[in-house]
Structure 1
Amino acid sequence: MNRSRREFLQKLTMSSMVLPIVSTYTPQWYGPLHTDVQGPVLRVALMGLGGYAQRVADAMKDCKRAKVTGLVSGTPAKLKEWGSKYNVPERNRYSYETFDDIKNNPDIDAVYVITPNALHHDNVIRAARAGKHVICEKPMAVSVQEGQEMVDACAAAGVQLLIGYRMRFEPNTLEIVNRRNAGEFGKINFFQGQCGFKIGDPNQWRLNKELAGGGALFDIGIYAINGTRYMVGEEPVWVTAQETKTDPTKFKEGVDETIQFQLGFASGAVASCLSTYNMNYLDRFYLNGDKGFAELWPSTGYGPIKGRTHQQPLNHPHIAHQTIQMDEMAAIILDGKKPVLPVDGTTGLQDLKIIEAIYRACATGARQELKLV
């Protein structure tokens, strides 16, 4: 057992001794902490060797159940550099032209698609047709239609499609979910999600509608959308939204700068969220119930995540989110493990339905009804 895990279990033991004094709730850790580290290893090819792919690759060095065994890039120099850095042999390095040959490579079980949003659709379908499981970064596509085609293609090929929702495995986040499920916060009334930062280079692909599909909502606002669903614990049934644009030169037509959106739930709970590319220091989730509250601040950054409830702070030690994510996804693919919070293609498709409804609400000024289940 490594040192960080041993320290975590020691803290968990101490917290379980204290909790009965302040609450009748006893934590149930059936999330990433119980991954079978002795099981088989998921062999993963990374597609799209940009900044986030490097973060994933570096985090996977500490994985017990997942390993980088393949690389896909349109830049030969990157394939050589990354191949050397991550010990990936030349036979497992592919260009986008040769990628389909991956179907004949027994060293690769899954492809992690980390390309610009608009490329996800074709990349995922090609990987599925090659008989490989697929992990796709969020957002899974730039439209509901594309997302559905991806889900259908993976089902037809008999492979799994998972979406890179790393926060759905994060320990502080899961503790709040477990406490909510145990009734500690009572009836949930309200959620607030604030996600944003000032984006830099105006020429980057994230500000190109053809590659990004939109603007801040696709990139950062999706955290609030997805977070609303797992924090409240039910699916929204309506949405309203308002868009603000102060710099139409930087944020061209179809690239949103700032959107405020509100979600309503059948239980009567409501959510108020902000997505922006023009404000810093916005990374906060707040959940309110009639018996208590929970807060994450920061809530979705690369960490460490900080949290508290009406009773006590949340103090899980920081482990790279992608390390936990990839070990957990290996257990899902190889062992059939059912995660606490789903990360499958259907979950990603539901987020796309909400995103499209938000854009419609901005365009029309009218409330949009949602039917996600």
Structure 2
Amino acid sequence: MLQKLRLAVVGLGRVSKSHLPAVRELAHKVELVALVTRDEDKLRQEAEQWEGVKTYTSYDDAVNDPDIDAFLLLLPHDIHAEYSNKVLRAGKHVLVEKPMAMNVQEAEEMALASEENGATLMIGQSRRFFSPVMESIKRVRANEIGGLININALLLAHMDKPATDWWKDESKIGGFIIPLWGSHILDYIVWAYDKMPLSVYAQGHSNNPNWSGEDEVAISLNFGEGQMANVLMSFNAGARPTDEEGLTGKRIWSTQNSIYERYLIGTNGMMQLKDEYELLMNGEKQDECDRTNSNFTWQLEEFADAIREGREPLASGREIIRVMKVIDACFESMRTHQVVPIQS
């Protein structure tokens, strides 16, 4: 019988509610050994749901625990690199939420720490792990719409207040809509083309006083050889109800309440992804999946299987450096109002 991956979950905020059910569902492959957070109330409440789980308010103590093989890091973006590197340098494996880091320099340090210490580093590009998304990539690779020449992605949603306080601070989040949602869309585009764009032009603006980062963005990517991609994202697509302070209102943070589409145009056809849940080719449905959190289960299973099999996981640290290069170029283009070349 194969030994289970002994896992620690670090951070018990909003996103943990998606990851922890995946840990439970994979009980035949993954054992939750420890929960780690400085919030003692959250720690106690969550620990009551798990038999025999250790609890830590000190991250260093958890890293030094010999009973832990791997860490699932669910933390603010600005500490992804610091916390990942500490684990990787201890020779332990890391699955860290997206975006990988605050910039490509941090991302490269993380990948190097992984390689130098023989530890697996995977990035939580969770929206890869839906069957229609996987199927779309399979069909691109098989040239079922001919050669890929354009990807157009559209996200129109309405968010009035951030889901957590640290999202308000650009220095902790590294922007706003680009790291929160653009990291998924840009990852998909680079994954589909399986190469880096040659250049990026991006425009972005912040329209809501409840945060400092960009909430309206347009990005154009040039892949050369007649290949391109375009991304339009908005968190302002809806009326903003207000109270006497003019700040509160209905917050929509679900693509079930938004428009989220991707159109992949080839030399001999077109595919459409409606959210991550439905794939159409030339207007006919090809694949569909339920609107559940099963993608987090698939993602964690890929992490555990890659470690067990001694292979690189899908969305490895080394692979996602490509996405970080594109994100960095987007922000540079927004600052300079220039087309920014990207080094492959």
> Partner of 1:22 in structure 2?
none
CA distance change for structure 1 residues 41 and 194 in 2, over 3 Å: closer, same or farther?
A: farther
1:265 to 218, 223, 226: 223
SS in 1 for 2:140: helix
Q: Is 1:198 matched up with 2:158? A: yes
> Partner of 1:365 in structure 2?
337
2:298 to 316, 324, 331: 324
> Partner of 1:151 in structure 2?
111
Q: TM-score, normalised by structure 1?
A: 0.80
> Partner of 1:350 in structure 2?
322
Unaligned runs of 5+ in 1: 1-37, 300-304
Name the CA distance, whole Å, in 2 between partners of 1:275 and 1:150. Answer: 29
Aligned partners of 2:154 and 2:260 also within 8 Å? yes
1:194-343, aligned counterparts within 5 Å?
194-201=154-161, 204-247=165-208, 249-252=209-212, 255-279=213-237, 281-299=258-276, 305-310=277-282, 312-318=284-290, 320-337=294-311, 342-343=314-315
Aligned partners of 1:68 and 1:88 also within 8 Å? no
Aligned partners of 2:120 and 2:312 also within 8 Å? no
Deviation at 1:144, TM superposition (A): 1.6
Aligned partners of 1:102 and 1:130 also within 8 Å? no
1:162-177, aligned counterparts within 5 Å?
162-177=122-137
Aligned partners of 1:191 and 1:232 also within 8 Å? no
Q: Is 1:71 matched up with 2:35? A: yes
Aligned partners of 1:195 and 1:223 also within 8 Å? no
> Partner of 1:23 in structure 2?
none
Higher strand proportion (structure 1 or 2):
2
Q: Is 1:93 matched up with 2:55? A: yes
Deviation at 1:214, TM superposition (A): 1.2
Name the CA distance, whole Å, in 2 between partners of 1:169 and 1:336. Answer: 20
Aligned residues: 321
Aligned partners of 1:124 and 1:136 also within 8 Å? yes
Name the CA distance, whole Å, in 2 between partners of 1:43 and 1:145. Answer: 30
CA distance change for structure 1 residues 103 and 59 in 2, over 3 Å: closer, same or farther?
A: closer
Deviation at 1:43, TM superposition (A): 2.0
Aligned partners of 1:72 and 1:99 also within 8 Å? yes
Q: TM-score, normalised by structure 2?
A: 0.87
Query: Over residues 143-196 of structure 1, what are the superposed CA-to-partner deviations in whole Å (9 max), with x where a residue is unaligned?
Result: 222222222222233211110012223211111111111111101111011235
Name the CA distance, whole Å, in 2 between partners of 1:235 and 1:50. Answer: 33
Task: Report the residue type matching 1:336 in the other structure.
Answer: G
Deviation at 1:258, TM superposition (A): 1.0
Q: Is 1:81 matched up with 2:45? A: yes
Q: Is 1:59 matched up with 2:59? A: no
Unaligned runs of 5+ in 2: 239-257
Higher helix proportion (structure 1 or 2):
1
Task: Report the residue type matching 1:285 in the other structure.
Answer: R
Deviation at 1:215, TM superposition (A): 1.2
1:47 to 1, 5, 10: 10
Deviation at 1:330, TM superposition (A): 0.7
CA distance change for structure 1 residues 124 and 258 in 2, over 3 Å: closer, same or farther?
A: same
Aligned partners of 2:197 and 2:221 also within 8 Å? yes
Name the CA distance, whole Å, in 1 between partners of 2:288 and 2:215. Answer: 34
Query: Over residues 189-232 of structure 1, what are the superposed CA-to-partner deviations in whole Å (9 max), with x where a residue is unaligned?
Result: 11011235322325721121121111111111111111111233
Aligned partners of 1:193 and 1:227 also within 8 Å? no
CA distance change for structure 1 residues 276 and 288 in 2, over 3 Å: closer, same or farther?
A: same
Aligned partners of 1:100 and 1:130 also within 8 Å? no
Name the CA distance, whole Å, in 1 between partners of 2:128 and 2:318. Answer: 15
Aligned partners of 2:278 and 2:289 also within 8 Å? no
Aligned partners of 2:137 and 2:192 also within 8 Å? yes
Q: In angstroms, what is the RMSD of aligned CA positions?
A: 2.1
Bigger Cα displacement from structure 2, 262-271 vs 153-162:
153-162
Name the CA distance, whole Å, in 2 between partners of 1:54 and 1:244. Answer: 31
